[in-house]
Amino acid sequence: MLGLAGLLGLVVLAQCSWLGLISYQGVAGEQWVQSSGEDSLCPQVSAITPSSHGSLLESLDSEFATEEFKLKAYESLGGAVRIPTETFDDLGTPEEDPRWEVHYDFHTYVETRFPRVHENLLRTKVNTYALVYYWKGSDETLKPVLIAAHADVVPVEPATADEWINPPYSGYYDGEWIWGRGSCDDKSGLIGSLTAIETLLERGFAPTRSVILAFGIDEERGGYTGALSIGRYLLETFGEDSISLIVDEGGGYSDISGTIFASPAVAEKGYLDVRVDVSTPGGHSSKPPKHTGIGILSNIITELEAHPHQPQLVRDRTYYQSLQCRAEYDNGLDPSMRKLIQQSRSSDEALQQLEGELLEFDPAYYAQAGTTQAIDLIGGGVKVNALPEAVWTIANHRIADYSSVSALQERFASIVNPIAAKYNMSLDAFGELVESGAPAYGQVRLSQAFGSSLEPAPVSPTIGSGPYELLSGTIISTLQTHLRSTEPQRPAVVSPGLSLDTRHYWKLTKHIFRYGHRGATDNYNGAHTTNEAIRAEGFLEVIRFYTRFILNADETNLLD
């Protein structure tokens, strides 16, 4: 990746305006030191490795490096990929829709592949197919850690089957890549965490701090059957604020100018689908009005796209804070841009200038720093010689972390209202009726589609917070000791980012991190598209990350 977009594969958000020097010494082997001096833009923690479990970790890394272990682990993921756990938007309940039943096959597979996990951990099936595993620790006064993943995948478009280098559900390992739908999103996370725990159990490890695994079944449609039910189950079982931290899928890491930037997401954008319905009189097409409902709707869509949301740089928010980390640690950043970022911390004029520069400098700026809008669905009309009486469209929005659902609704209505007035239409804007001056020709109605309203998430604490520091130190430790055969060791930086999809777990903890320890070059062609594949050595690093995370969490005093 090049330019600022390289850092912002997932938007970075860190409370990096903290200044000064602090060092911390916890249990043996655990230490972090923040960047020093008044000009520190993005404080960092140093690597954290376990002390009491140090010899075990060293032995495990030696095992992970063996060809025998690698081939077994790669086949574990390949076998999971071969089970087509596709999620569809129109799925019924697990009780009524037979398309869920493929998850029975997945249950059987993981039972067979990870026998020690199923002998030693308590497994609960939630809402039939979602899975929760509880690895009970010896000290129940310690809050558990939770690792989340999902077993479902987006369907493969049948028309693209011939475009795959290897079949989409082959799970084939070709010596470098493990191929197939779900290899990246997110069976690598699910199988990686199970492999880590299975291997720890083989060594006789028994945790002091409890570990929970939560595996959803319909993340690709919002988690309304899986994660929602898991969240309710965990709340009923453990209570609110009962988890020390959650690690779910999310940001990864990438090489920018020779430095590895890792981006665990600590915030989530909001979400809203707006439905626009235009109702007009019908009639025969031989006597058309000047504008049909389709024409009026088209005018509304044109006006919406002519007025996109403008991203803003807000100093204490997501995207802006990512720039601070970039200015401090990216050796390849243009000096003038670095200077402008630094000046913008205290100068409103420089902040405004920086906004203008980013519009040209960073192609990802619009999508990541502000609210996005996409007209994705449209419909209407029943016959070529009948005037359409009801037409509609749906606009998808991802709401900036500094905005809100109500602000989006108000802005949307303000754009549509003049169009409705132009055509003498009344406007029902999210339940508030705005009448036209004369008897209305028809009505424009704005509403939430699919009950999709979601405010931006609470922001997980970063620097100064033990859970974030533990996670950061574990990420750095894993990156600095990687087992890749051809890559040199590089300096690593953690700069928190922004993601989606943990809404169902918000009440369990204030410390939610969306991070899937996978490098940008470990994806062959990304997810949700043809030729999804994960680099095998990258998957091995996923296993190593979960292993280090569990061992670090077990002996840390950075968690409750």
Residue numbers in the known binding site for Zn(2+) are: 150, 185, 220, 248, 528
d(CA 151, CA 452): 23
Residue 112, class by beta-carbon neighbours within 10 Å (0-12 exposed, 13-18 middle, 19+ buried)? Answer: exposed
Q: Which of 517, 436, 405, 404 is nearest to 471 (CA)?
A: 517
- C-alpha to C-alpha distances, 67 to 63, 64, 74, 418, nearest whole angstrom: 9, 8, 10, 67
User: Which of 219, 249, 522, 541 is an active site residue?
Assistant: 219
**Phi, psi at 245, each rounded to 5°:** -160, 155
152 is catalytic: yes
**Residue showing tokens 């249950």:** 107
Burial 29-66 (b: 16+ CB within 10 A, else e): bbbbebbeeeebbbbbbbbbbbbebeebbeebeeebee
Query: Tokens 């949307």, residue?
Result: 412
Give the integer Cα–Cα distance in Å for 346 and 332. 24
Buried b (16+ CB within 10 A) or exposed e, 78-104: bbbbbbbbbbeeebeebeeeeebebbe
CA–centroid distance for 133 within its chain: 22
Q: Would residue 219 show up in a list of annotated catalytic residues for this protein?
A: yes
Asked if residues 291 and 423 have their Cβ atoms less than 8 Å apart, the reply is yes
Answer yes or no: are the C-beta atoms of 420 and 444 closer than 8 Å: yes
User: What distance in Å separates the CA atoms of residue 403 and residue 408, rounded to the nearest whole number?
Assistant: 8
DSSP 507: G
DSSP 385-435: TB--SEEEEEEEEEE-TT--HHHHHHHHHHHHHHHHHHTTEEEEETTEEE-
- Measured between alpha carbons, how far is 181 from 167 in angstroms, rounded to an integer? 9
Spot the catalytic one: 152, 273, 362, 532.
Answer: 152
Q: What's the burial of 510, exposed, middle or buried (CB within 10 Å: 0-12/13-18/19+)?
A: middle
Strand partners, 32: 24
Q: How big is the CA angle at 258 (ends 257 and 264), to the nearest 5 degrees? A: 90
Report how far residue 441's alpha carbon sits from residue 436's, in angstroms, rounded to the nearest whole number. Answer: 9
Whether 497 and 11 have beta carbons less than 8 Å apart is answered as yes
Instruction: Kindly compute the dihedral angle of the four CA atoms of residues 152, 523, 63, 192, in this order, to the nearest 10 degrees.
Output: -20
**What are the φ and ψ backbone dihedral angles of 57, each rounded to 5 degrees?**
-65, -45
The residue type of 220 is E
- Which of 522, 501, 502, 515 shows the shortest CA–CA distance to 545? 515
Binding residues: 150, 185, 220, 248, 528
Q: Which residues are catalytic?
A: 152, 219
